[in-house]
A and B are shown apart, each in its own frame.
Chain A
């Protein structure tokens, strides 16, 4: 394995010297890890080789702490077209005119970059996730944005609001110009995120099963060209993967900014269209290609994974890479410059690809030095060989590059002192309700999602905010539709990492059910603190166990299969002031409807309809907004009874699909009264109808009935369907609790207790959190 570059004398260094040398050169490997590189390749490495392992063995790229734990998650099933092995997972959507279609899903976070440079960090988070979906050969349909910010009323409020507003601008500033609608999202606020926001992105795409392009060199690819397309490589985002794998340190703030990539949605807009045109050409000529986006680790990571997964090696010539500045070879190989992809193409098709990007869509005219360039060849010999100026700068077995490392991290149960507060029953409920409605974790989020284009592409049926899940019918003129929701409550997770994760899965599924869609798959973005801290690692393991248990115990409707987890990522090292963030397993659920016209929103439709509650209220106030208002956390979380939960969800789906329900909302943050008020106001807070509520008969104090966040649904049923709904509920073994009726008078009347005009509710709920 000859190389021409000088070798780093790792074997001659003491651990101390080694660490010092690596620190000077921006390498964050541990001393033993650097020595393992020597063992693995049988000699001391070149600087390029050491940088490669620095990135490949970062937590971000290698999942070295999490990989073993993640094996518990159910990832297969009869509806899974592609599990979580490539850039995105694919779940069955529908078979139409003899073609099986899949929904492509990817779910990632861009947390540290968004904390340091919020606009660019969030924008490149969107960009990277969209690339993951596109590179499967899909048409990109929609994005969702689960966001977690610090307390906008706490000590750090100015910084928190600044970051939140810039993140929202960054998401809008990328998705809007690209022409990808925002279909779902949520925002939670907690002081636990004061120093480390979470910015997740979920992207959906559509692909015919036969048109899927894999992130792998196809069979017989020996001698195929490796084509780099997109932006000219620069030094932006160098070390991004390593940066994502360390706790943020305020004193490194300026240095860290360099590890954040620079977004170029204008170039991406054209790149997207040019790539769709390449898909079309390749399909026309039955050409099998490999395609992968460039994310963490840049050219190195993308080319090595493409070739290794196909059973090949490759040679790369860095002189052929289009760059926008003089760069050392290791930087060209590993920089995380945005808006780039890599094709593996038979030489006969290479010209078509080059022409499409360089001439037809004229990339070099769109952005300085952007283009498609052939940068190497796939080889039968399983070496990863890189040359620069005629010198070999890297020459290692390709299996070594992608082999990764793994750790068995220590676990220790965190000691928690949880107590259930004994709060006196309130004197009155009216002002309490208004406080709950104006709480940052309950109030209307339209000032966020109205910044996003929710209608571009013209396929949206229910946009962000109008229901518990967004709904889109991606094939114009056809019935099937996809629903998307996201969820995770940091306060539940603060009480229990296990139950918090289960509740997040159940709620994401319930959200999808509330529009009438059948939950089809899940994705998870697991955001936790430093996994080297045993208590944090225990939270992580408990979170994964919770997701797995919920997915298995709430099987896919009509089957005994778990709802599969088909995409996701792990983000560790999220700390605020030396304290880990609350466990944050952010869950997305994709649901399928056989007919978009059956989907319903959460807004009340007609005066005279009856309201019903599914899900008996319980004394489960732990983590509730009610407790947050009293600065308490509590202990008694909503406990899931899977059998009950499953029956309720399936019944709601059936009722909606039989068109017996006019509107439906799940009960979550804020509890029953908040759910009812949100139905009165509707997502955009423009509702005009009122509700006369009969508080359900219960031995519980009214504060529990009104504000406990026990899972459930509120349904609006037209009078004439009530009998049928009762019959179906009884047959399903679900208790249907009468809750009152919809009235024309714009008031919330709770018989004998209080009466609030709709305008007061509207004004409380539309509180501006971020201004």
Chain B
């Protein structure tokens, strides 16, 4: 049976279409679930928190959505090992919900305002964790470099607790880091577009079933979406490297009974 992924729509979410498309292209069944009509949310095989500005990002990005009752259901599902991915605003929600980095199951990091405001441009992501460290890099080799755009104003992963950083490194929770075209990780803008500590672009929880990332692989999923695409229509429709994130999810779910 096709595995079902709940695409969560909060008021203010704006990345539903492309998230649905990316999930469907991985052979999974995307189902849009509205914030006030969550029905059988617990029965889904996985959860996708797309980008946008849930609840107008009042107070802080993602903080109100993190307290939405539906997050309790998602949290419980995550605790049972079901996969959860949050992209951009979705990542902010996972951080505010204490699910990422999830070391002590409380809010341990923040996604602070970028050093120089909102930016939307293509970045390079260095795949930093061992293959399969998380559900979402099951099919991605360490050291691979992918082109993925960002579109955010508050994407700077920070923490005031150095122990968190030590744990992230020790646990290999840093899945993606911003790098330059050659794969070199430097802090300078625009390589590190927001000033995130250790150039963090994506983090998983210790169990590896929850991923929060600021860049948008859902709009880097088909070759036609990549900068400077040059080829035939058939080539344009082929899947792009960043789609391996969703294929990894599908691969993980297929391996489950």
* Nearest CB in chain B: distance from A287 CB, A: 23
- Chain B residues with Cβ below 8 Å from A366 are 11
CA gap between A454 and B225 in the complex, in Å: 11
Q: Which of A166-200 contact B (CB under 8 A)?
A: 172, 176-179
9-residue interface stretch from B98-106, B129-137, B156-164, B215-223 = B215-223
* Nearest CB in chain A: distance from B142 CB, A: 26
- B144 interface residue per 8 A CB criterion: no
- B68 interface residue per 8 A CB criterion: no
Task: For B229, give the chain A residue with the smallest CB separation.
Answer: A461
Q: Which of A475-531 contact B (CB under 8 A)?
A: 476-477, 479
Whether the Cβ atoms of A266 and B53 lie closer than 8 Å is yes
Whether the Cβ atoms of A453 and B120 lie closer than 8 Å is yes
| Given A457-B17, A458-B18, A458-B21, A479 and B233 contact (CB-CB distance below 8 Å) | yes
CA gap between A450 and B11 in the complex, in Å: 25
- A605 interface residue per 8 A CB criterion: yes
- Chain B residues with Cβ below 8 Å from A433 are none
Whether the Cβ atoms of B237 and A176 lie closer than 8 Å is no
- Chain B residues with Cβ below 8 Å from A571 are none
**Interface magnitude class on chain A:** 35 or more
- B138 interface residue per 8 A CB criterion: no
- A654 interface residue per 8 A CB criterion: no
Whether the Cβ atoms of A266 and B12 lie closer than 8 Å is yes
| Given A450-B119, A451-B120, A455-B151, A179 and B15 contact (CB-CB distance below 8 Å) | yes
- Chain B residues with Cβ below 8 Å from A266 are 11-12, 53, 56
Find A597's partner among B21, B119, B121, B236 (CB 8 Å cutoff): B236
Contact string, A450-472, partner B, CB cutoff 8 A, digits 1/0? 11111111101100001000000
- A595 interface residue per 8 A CB criterion: yes
- B155 interface residue per 8 A CB criterion: no
- Chain A residues with Cβ below 8 Å from B224 are 461, 473, 596-597
- Chain A residues with Cβ below 8 Å from B229 are 461, 597
Whether the Cβ atoms of A179 and B228 lie closer than 8 Å is no
| Given A178-B14, A269-B52, A461-B229, A450 and B218 contact (CB-CB distance below 8 Å) | no
CA gap between A273 and B50 in the complex, in Å: 15
Whether the Cβ atoms of A270 and B17 lie closer than 8 Å is no
Whether the Cβ atoms of B53 and A476 lie closer than 8 Å is no
CA gap between A307 and B51 in the complex, in Å: 40
- B2 interface residue per 8 A CB criterion: no
Whether the Cβ atoms of A172 and B118 lie closer than 8 Å is yes
* Nearest CB in chain A: distance from B54 CB, A: 10
Interface centre among B151, B231, B232 (most CB of A within 10 A): B151
Task: For A688, give the chain B residue with the smallest CB separation.
Answer: B181
CA gap between A733 and B164 in the complex, in Å: 69
- Chain A residues with Cβ below 8 Å from B231 are 597
- Chain B residues with Cβ below 8 Å from A595 are 233
Whether the Cβ atoms of B228 and A176 lie closer than 8 Å is no
| Given A266-B11, A270-B12, A466-B227, A597 and B235 contact (CB-CB distance below 8 Å) | yes
- B256 interface residue per 8 A CB criterion: no
- Grouping DSSP codes into helix (H, G, I), strand (E, B) and loop, the B interface class, with mixed when no group exceeds half, is mixed
CA gap between A273 and B34 in the complex, in Å: 11
Whether the Cβ atoms of B233 and A456 lie closer than 8 Å is no
- Chain B residues with Cβ below 8 Å from A476 are 21
- Chain A residues with Cβ below 8 Å from B37 are 360
Whether the Cβ atoms of B120 and A362 lie closer than 8 Å is no
- A235 interface residue per 8 A CB criterion: no
Contact string, B60-83, partner A, CB cutoff 8 A, digits 1/0? 000000000000000000000000
- Chain A residues with Cβ below 8 Å from B151 are 176, 453-456
- B149 interface residue per 8 A CB criterion: yes
CA gap between A477 and B236 in the complex, in Å: 9
- A684 interface residue per 8 A CB criterion: yes
CA gap between A466 and B230 in the complex, in Å: 13
CA gap between A476 and B52 in the complex, in Å: 21
Whether the Cβ atoms of B18 and A456 lie closer than 8 Å is yes
- A603 interface residue per 8 A CB criterion: yes
| Given A451-B118, A597-B236, A603 and B228 contact (CB-CB distance below 8 Å) | yes
CA gap between A456 and B119 in the complex, in Å: 13
CA gap between A601 and B236 in the complex, in Å: 15
CA gap between A603 and B52 in the complex, in Å: 31
* Nearest CB in chain A: distance from B216 CB, A: 7
- Chain B residues with Cβ below 8 Å from A455 are 120, 149, 151, 216, 219, 225
- Chain A residues with Cβ below 8 Å from B12 are 177, 266, 269-270
Find A176's partner among B11, B34, B118 (CB 8 Å cutoff): B118
Whether the Cβ atoms of B219 and A456 lie closer than 8 Å is yes
- Chain B residues with Cβ below 8 Å from A452 are 120
CA gap between A454 and B227 in the complex, in Å: 12
- B36 interface residue per 8 A CB criterion: yes
CA gap between A454 and B118 in the complex, in Å: 12
- Chain A residues with Cβ below 8 Å from B17 are 457-458
- Chain B residues with Cβ below 8 Å from A362 are 11, 36
CA gap between A456 and B151 in the complex, in Å: 9
- Chain A residues with Cβ below 8 Å from B221 are 458
Interface centre among B21, B37, B121 (most CB of A within 10 A): B121
Across the A-B interface, give the 6 residue pairs with the lowest CB-CB distance, nearest first: A179-B14, A458-B18, A266-B56, A458-B219, A455-B219, A597-B233
Q: Interface on B for A, CB 8 Å cutoff? A: 9, 11-15, 17-18, 21-22, 34, 36-37, 51-53, 56, 117-122, 149, 151, 216, 218-219, 221-222, 224-225, 227-233, 235-237
Other CB < 8 Å A-B pairs besides A177-B12, A177-B52, A458-B22, 16 of them?
A: A172-B118, A176-B120, A177-B53, A269-B12, A269-B14, A270-B11, A456-B18, A456-B151, A457-B17, A458-B221, A460-B219, A466-B227, A477-B237, A597-B232, A684-B121, A684-B122
Pull 12 A–B residue pairs with CB atoms less than 8 Å apart, ordered by A: A176-B120, A177-B52, A270-B11, A362-B11, A453-B151, A455-B216, A456-B14, A458-B221, A458-B222, A596-B224, A597-B231, A597-B232
